[in-house]
Amino acid sequence: MQSSTDRMLTRIKSIYLYMSKEGRTVTTQELVDEFGITQRTIQRDLNVLEYNNLVHSPSRGKWAAKRKKTRAS
């Protein structure tokens, strides 16, 4: 069984990869619908990604992945 931290990191990585693959701005609601989790959880995950300089919010409720070389392990 995965620990809650492992599940969170896996989820955050999945969100980032989804945003990178889409290559466009996505809404918080779109992420809620895609991943089937609450808006509050998505917001916390996006805050982690933003803190690590991987995503930015060009306007309220919209998010885009930054163009950076990253290594997914």
Stated pTM of the model: 0.84
How far is the C-alpha of 32 from the C-alpha of 64, rounded, in Å?
A: 15
Q: One-letter amino acid identity for 27?
A: T
Q: State the maximum Cα–Cα separation within the chain, in Å, rounded to a whole number.
A: 38
**Tens digit of each residue's pLDDT, the chain (73 residues):** 678 889 899 999 999 999 999 888 999 999 999 999 999 999 999 999 999 999 999 888 899 998 766 565 5
Query: What is the reported pLDDT for 73?
Result: 57
Query: What is the reported pLDDT for 17?
Result: 94
Domains of the chain: 4-65 (1.10.10.10)
